[in-house]
C-alpha cells in the first residue's frame, strides 16, 4: 500500500482539500496523510466547500510534519511554495511533487467572493488529485 503525504504551510486548507480528494480518488489503495510546517487548524470554509462536493473532511485534524517523521512515504506532495522551501529532509525514497496552489485563506472581499475563491482552488486541487492518482497510483495497481 502506497503512503502519500500532502504538505502545506498550516495544514488548514489546501493540504486538507488534497487529502480529501486523494482519499476519494485512490480509495483503499493508499494511506493519505496531510501536515503543515505549522498547524493552523482545519479551516471551516474548506470543510464547507468540500461538503458541497460530497466529501466530508470535518473529522480531519491539523497536524505538524514532525508527527510523521518515522513514516516511510512513497510520495510527498507540497501544495505551496512555502512548504516546499521549508519541507524537512525525509530519510525516505519518497518521490517529491510540487504544485503551488493559491491560498484561499488569504482571499478578501465579501463572503460570496471569498467562498468563490475557495471553490476555485478546490476545483484546481480536485483536478490535480484525480490526475495524480491516475498517473501514480492506478498505474501501480493495474
Residue 138 has a pLDDT of 78
Task: Identify which of 95, 94, 99, 87 has the alpha carbon closest to the alpha carbon of residue 129.
Answer: 99
Residue 90 has a pLDDT of 58
Residues marked active site are found at: 8, 80, 87
How is residue 31 written as a grid cell? 494511506
Please report how the helices 14-26 and 111-132 are oriented relative to each other, as an axis angle in degrees rounded to 10.
40
Task: Identify which of 86, 80, 85 has the alpha carbon closest to the alpha carbon of residue 99.
Answer: 80
Q: Which residue has the cell 501536515?
A: 35
Res. 47: pLDDT tops 80 = yes
Res. 111: pLDDT tops 60 = yes
Average confidence score pLDDT of the chain: 91
d(CA 77, CA 4): 8
Task: Identify which of 72, 76, 64, 77 has the alpha carbon closest to the alpha carbon of residue 91.
Answer: 72
d(CA 71, CA 7): 14
pTM: 0.92
At the fourth CATH level, which superfamily is domain 2-137?
Response regulator (3.40.50.2300)
Residue 81 has a pLDDT of 76
Q: Which residue has the cell 480536485?
A: 126
Res. 9: pLDDT tops 80 = yes
Residues β-bridged to residue 5 = 33, 76
Domain extent listing, the chain: 2-137
Amino acid at each position: 500500500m502506497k503512503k502519500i503525504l500532502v504538505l502545506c504551510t498550516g495544514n488548514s486548507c489546501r493540504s486538507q482539500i488534497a487529502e480529501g480528494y486523494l482519499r476519494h480518488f485512490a480509495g483503499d489503495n493508499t494511506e493519505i496523510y496531510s501536515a503543515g510546517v505549522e498547524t493552523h487548524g482545519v479551516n471551516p470554509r474548506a470543510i464547507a466547500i468540500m461538503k458541497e462536493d460530497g466529501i466530508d473532511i470535518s473529522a480531519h485534524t491539523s497536524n505538524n510534519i514532525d508527527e510523521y517523521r518515522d513514516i516511510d512515504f512513497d510520495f510527498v506532495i507540497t501544495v505551496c511554495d512555502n512548504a516546499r522551501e521549508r519541507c524537512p529532509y525525509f530519510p525516505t525514497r519518497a518521490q517529491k511533487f510540487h504544485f503551488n496552489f493559491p491560498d484561499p485563506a488569504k482571499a478578501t472581499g465579501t463572503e460570496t467572493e471569498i467562498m468563490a475563491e475557495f471553490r476555485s482552488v478546490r476545483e484546481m486541487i480536485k483536478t490535480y488529485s484525480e490526475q495524480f492518482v491516475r498517473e501514480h497510483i492506478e498505474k501501480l495497481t493495474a
